[in-house]
Structure 1
């Protein structure tokens, strides 16, 4: 499943246009082929998106879902990615307004919405709530099967979170296709799944099955492509990150690309990023 290309989309992005919290919405604005008709951010309403972000896309910024209705959106995407993946308190009335207006909702946060009675009662025929972060069924334990594949498996890893691992994988995927390679991007996070559809929401998978979930999706596509670009998650260095090791074990990468935010020296206070020229 991916974000539909034939439905008008509004992105709910309060406080996200000019902060790292907005990485999901900003990535959709940069990469999505869906018709994006409005960005909702009360802090930036009325301003120019390109001037604020550098993204070359002419999409109006409005203050609320109610203000976005003039552009006739059919889908509302929650565009922020806060720590812990919880929905902010001031988002709930916007979600209800969207459902009352006949819109479907795409939710990439950890808080599931599809089974909340108060929201379900607002759904009309044709409306859906897609909780992207949902563990797939029939998962197994990884067995290093990906090492038997003939394709290249390129995994992005990061010194920190939110440094551009998905963007790097997407850009390399498209560059490979321009060169005539049979290339496939495999998403492992909510934004990548909205954009491309194929993959696994890794941080929704129980840790014992995480490497197996990655292995399963790599094995599904590895025999039909020259190169797989596997979207990285988490951080090699951040003490709160658990995602990188299952990705390495599950994909058995032939290459890894390190993604780093230029000038950053710590992941959190007291946890430094070692100098790249330091040898051991």
Structure 2
């Protein structure tokens, strides 16, 4: 079950919403007191038959085994309204998975409630045995696509997962490297980049990419989840992702109509053409293979737009950038994958 207290209809619940959209295994309930009894599809647009209930107690008869904290609040701390339900889940013998900065297992009160057969997975922890990056991923024969964003939370992970699904539908060998809490929860592996010290961040990405791509051939596609944005003053994630993954190709992800960094109206997002030029220039540096990776397409997040307006927005981006553009969540990953093959 997914704990989504107050996050079912906004970006604070993006981790849980991603699980609901992309996790292939069963999800028996969503816990959100603010939307208890509502239709999941009506609130979120996600076509999945999962009941929305008001508490863990209401979800227990549905047979959950793991409670996943689906919230991604600013600062990564467990919200007070969700704490009681985390405690209730542990008390009932459930395991708990969390991508928050505040660690459930390090909370004495919550940790004491864990049953012996259950576990607590605090995934936002720095991996062991880190090393400084040395461009080792450039030696992998597979193609490596890195998603880069015009801002945070614009849909980089979703674009990669839609491309993954489309590649597999076509019979192509493709894998996904999660670099954030939702991507790791969905795929079961990856590196929580924002939990890694900056000196080792590129090395941590490199290790994850090498592990995921070690037996892939030249025709295979390795999709690396992007984080943050070069245009955001609070983000340091894009550069270590570029260095660690040594991408062969890039995918720009942008939200339709967004003109400035979310919450910072004084900081305009550069014209997409300028952003593409900057990303490509950075991606060409510190490479032993001499490649100059290019942005092959634009994934446009058109959530909230009517179909006609979404179509027009994609056409405008195609005209301004000269690149194929599509909303992969709305239309699937076909057009974007065509641009890579």
Both structures adopt the same fold (TM-score exceeding 0.5): yes
Counterpart in the other structure of 1:233: 227
- Partner of 1:83, secondary structure, is coil
CA distance in 1, matches of 2:18, 2:213: 26
What corresponds to 1:17 in structure 2?
Answer: 8
1:248-263 equivalence runs, <5 A: 248-263=242-257
Equivalences for residues 126-145 of structure 1 within 5 A:
126-145=117-136
Structure 1-normalised TM-score?
A: 0.93
Deviation at 1:221, TM superposition (A): 2.9
Which residue in 1 is equivalent to 2:315? none
Q: Which structure exhibits the higher relative contact order, with contacts defined as CA atoms closer than 8 Å and separated by 6 or more residues?
A: 1
TM-superposed CA distance for 1:181, in Å, is 2.0
Superimposed CA distance per residue, residues 126-177 of structure 1 (whole angstroms, 9 cap, x where no aligned partner): 1111101111100000011111221111000101111110011111112122
Work out whether residues 31 and 54 of structure 2, in 8 Å CA contact, stay in contact via their aligned partners in 1.
yes
Is the contact between residue 5 and residue 81 of structure 2 (CA under 8 Å) also seen in structure 1?
A: no
Equivalence map 1:97-112=2 (5 Å)? 97-112=88-103
SS at match of 1:46: coil
**1:117 paired to 2:117:** no
Match of 1:29 in 2: 20
Trace 1:1-280 onto structure 2 (pairs within 5 A): 10-225=1-216, 226-267=220-261, 268-277=264-273
Name whichever structure is richer in helix by fraction.
Answer: 2
> Relative to structure 2, which stretch is displaced further, 68-77 or 46-55?
68-77
Describe the superposition over 1:196-244 as per-residue Cα deviations: whole angstroms up to 9, x where unpaired.
1231111111111000001111122324222210000111211111111
* Distance (whole Å) between structure 2 residues aligned to residue 184 and residue 167 of structure 1: 14
- Runs (4 or more) in structure 1 with deviation over 6 Å come to none
Residue-pair matches, total: 271
Report which stretch shifted further, 19-28 or 192-201: 192-201
Q: Residues of 2 paired with 1:154 and 1:278: CA distance?
A: 20
Structure 2 CA distance for aligned equivalents of residues 213 and 132 of structure 1:
14
3-state DSSP of counterpart to 2:34: coil
- Structure 1: distance between partners of 2:260 and 2:271: 11
| 2:178/2:191 contact within 8 Å kept | yes
In the TM superposition, what is the alpha-carbon distance from 1:277 to its structure 2 partner?
A: 4.9
Distance 1:81 1:121 in 2: 24
Unmatched tracts of structure 1, length 5 or more: 1-9
Change (3 A) 1:223 1:105: closer
1:20-64 alpha-carbon deviations (Å, 9 max, x no partner): 111111111111122111111111111111111111111111111
